[in-house]
């Protein structure tokens, strides 16, 4: 009972955070139509557009939250939309509860299928490694954007994952080009090296014909309004979906140095390396930079962030009676190392009521990385939860009443069906009685960490959280509860 009680509080807090950044609600809250006036209002921006000045309204975009964003925009604009196309991740086309009520992770959320979109088409594609549908989506979206003129209002729906879901290999005069396979292999190498997402995007932008501001060049001279849901620490518009609607301040030289720094430069596909070297030599042009005229009619609008989700989580925790602290929305670094920070804080609260008195809730968000050492299955949230479990297992008495949850707000952690994982002393105690796992919990944890196999380790311990796709995406959230 204790486990269910403690896990329920952490889960409810996480669910409140994810519901707050539901794209349908954020679109309908911030975008309104009054006659011919389209207004976009956020806490920091206010824009208005006279739709009578446009002959067409195109809706284009990419990202894990694309289906929800499209649904919200159709509710506002309806038949005023001429046509649209958005690339989404496989399975991210239905409405789902923000997180399952099942604390052990054995079930999914209650599904409520979307009413069919009437004006905007969806293409499901690969993520985090692009596939043939990613290429198809990019080509079709590029054709639509290229047909836009001065009397076209183009509304771009952009969210995390857009880099992979809409992939257009770059081609330059002189035969300098890359293929989808080159980008796939480069992406795998960067991910396997534990490269932070901002640096991954720097490389991908310089191999792309649509990211890094190129999309804005294709759509010019149309008016382009980008509604953006941030999955990037710090909310840098040039990094979200590899800067589809923003200037690129990075360079070919930086991209090549990133590959060298993570020791994958000599393993890059030959065409990818040749393109980066050509860019460094000035043989091919740089990505569009700040001040480029292609951005004169581009209006990026940030409508959802990790910080917004954490604010709602804090409110829910306080309503539930917890003394609450939001550490940061900018956590980065190795998942295992961040786990040590959370366990240190947990032990301090449990034993000394510092920096918060019990009952306490500590919240954080961001995006960590995992450097692959083995060939197992998992994701950064599962890796972090398993590392927290490892620390708890060393001295369970220091962590009485502690529950930790790390969850991806999109419902997918790595290439798995889990959103994240749990850690608590109760998990370790009940796992000792699992009939299907002959090893001790400590052995399961150690093997999982050694082989980067957090998924199977947590599954054996009954500590996976499965939610199904949430159709939003604002990085990850960590919830630490001390009863």
pLDDT digit of tens for each residue in the chain (483 aa)?
A: 345 556 899 999 999 999 999 999 999 999 999 999 999 999 889 999 999 999 999 999 999 999 999 999 999 999 999 999 999 999 998 644 344 334 334 333 323 344 579 999 999 999 999 999 999 999 999 999 999 999 999 999 999 999 999 999 999 999 999 999 999 999 999 999 989 988 999 999 999 999 999 999 999 999 999 999 999 888 989 889 989 999 999 999 999 999 999 999 999 999 999 999 999 999 999 999 999 999 999 999 999 999 999 999 999 999 999 999 999 999 999 999 999 999 999 999 999 999 999 999 999 999 999 998 899 999 999 999 999 999 999 999 999 999 999 999 999 999 999 999 999 999 998 876 655 656 788 899 999 999 999 999 999 999 999 999 999 999 999 999 999
Segments making up each domain of the chain, as ranges: 22-168+208-250+287-304, 306-482
At the top level of CATH, which class does the domain 306-482 belong to?
A: alpha beta
Q: Measure the CA–CA gap between 132 and 340, rounded to whole angstroms.
A: 40
Q: Give the pLDDT confidence score for residue 239 in this predicted structure.
A: 87
C-beta separation of 327 from 333 below 8 A:
no
Q: Tell me the C-alpha to C-alpha distance, in Å, between residue 320 and each of 9, 14, 16, 222, 308.
A: 8, 13, 12, 49, 19
Q: Give the pLDDT confidence score for residue 327 in this predicted structure.
A: 97
Q: Measure the CA–CA gap between 405 and 313, rounded to whole angstroms.
A: 13
C-beta separation of 47 from 299 below 8 A:
yes
CA angle centred on 280, ends 186 and 205, rounded to 5°: 40
Q: Give the pLDDT confidence score for residue 44 in this predicted structure.
A: 87
CA dihedral 268, 269, 272, 274 (to 10 degrees): 90
Q: Measure the CA–CA gap between 375 and 35, rounded to whole angstroms.
A: 57
How much of the chain is helix, strand and coil, in % rounded to 5? 40, 20, 35
Cα-trace Rg, the chain: 23
Q: Measure the CA–CA gap between 225 and 61, rounded to whole angstroms.
A: 11
Strand partners, 366: 331, 476
Buried/exposed 245-271: b ≥16 CB within 10 Å, e otherwise: bbbbbbbbeebbbbbeebebeeebbeb
Can you name the CATH fold of 22-168+208-250+287-304? Rossmann fold (3.40.50)
Q: Give the pLDDT confidence score for residue 432 in this predicted structure.
A: 63
> Which of 396, 405, 403, 383 is closest to 432 using CA atoms?
396
Q: Measure the CA–CA gap between 281 and 360, rounded to whole angstroms.
A: 55
C-beta separation of 456 from 448 below 8 A:
yes
C-beta separation of 318 from 251 below 8 A:
no
Its pTM stands at: 0.86
């Amino acid at each position: 009972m204790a486990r269910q009680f403690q896990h329920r509080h952490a889960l409810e807090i996480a669910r409140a955070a994810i519901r707050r950044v539901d794209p349908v609600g954020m679109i309908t809250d911030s975008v309104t139509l009054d006659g011919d006036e389209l207004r976009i209002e956020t806490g920091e921006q206010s824009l208005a557009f006279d739709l009578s000045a446009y002959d067409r309204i195109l809706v284009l975009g990419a990202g894990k939250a694309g289906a929800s964003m499209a649904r919200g925009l159709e509710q506002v604009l309806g038949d005023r939309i001429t046509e649209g196309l958005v690339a989404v991740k496989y399975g991210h086309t239905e409405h789902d509860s923000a997180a399952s009520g099942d604390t052990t992770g054995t079930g999914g959320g209650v599904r409520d299928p979307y009413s069919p979109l009437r004006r905007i088409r969806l293409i499901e594609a690969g993520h985090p490694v692009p596939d043939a549908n990613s290429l198809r989506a990019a080509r079709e979206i590029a054709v639509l954007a290229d047909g836009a003129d001065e009397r076209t209002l183009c509304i771009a729906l952009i969210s995390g994952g857009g880099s992979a879901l809409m992939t257009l290999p770059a081609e330059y005069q002189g035969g300098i080009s890359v293929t989808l396979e080159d980008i796939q292999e480069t992406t795998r190498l960067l991910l396997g090296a534990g490269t932070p997402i901002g640096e991954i995007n720097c490389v991908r932008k310089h191999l792309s014909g649509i990211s890094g501001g190129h999309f804005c060049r294709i759509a010019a001279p149309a008016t382009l309004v980008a509604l953006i849901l941030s999955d990037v620490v710090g909310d840098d518009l040039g990094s979200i979906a590899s800067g589809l609607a923003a200037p690129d301040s990075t360079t070919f030289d930086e991209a090549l140095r990133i590959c060298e720094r993570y020791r994958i430069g000599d393993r890059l596909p030959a065409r990818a390396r040749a393109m980066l070297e050509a860019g460094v030599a000035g043989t091919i042009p740089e990505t569009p930079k700040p001040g480029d005229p292609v951005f004169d009619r581009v209006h990026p609008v940030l409508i959802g962030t990790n910080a917004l989700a954490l604010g709602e989580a804090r409110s829910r925790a306080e309503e539930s009676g917890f003394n609450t602290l939001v550490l940061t929305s900018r956590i980065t670094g190795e998942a295992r190392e961040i786990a040590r920070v959370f366990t240190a804080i947990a032990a301090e609260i449990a034993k000394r009521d510092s920096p918060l008195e019990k009952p306490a809730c500590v919240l954080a968000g961001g995006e960590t990385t995992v450097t692959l050492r083995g060939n197992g299955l998992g994701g950064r949230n599962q890796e972090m939860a398993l590392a927290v479990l490892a620390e708890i297992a060393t001295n369970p008495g220091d962590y009485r009443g502690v529950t930790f949850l790390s969850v991806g707000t999109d419902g997918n952690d790595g290439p798995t069906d889990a959103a994240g994982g749990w850690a608590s002393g109760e998990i370790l105690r009940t796992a000792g009685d699992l009939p299907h796992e002959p090893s001790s919990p400590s052995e399961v944890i150690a093997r999982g960490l050694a082989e980067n196999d957090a998924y199977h380790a947590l599954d054996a311990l009954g500590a996976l959280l499965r939610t199904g796709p949430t159709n939003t995406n604002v990085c990850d959230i960590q919830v630490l509860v001390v009863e």
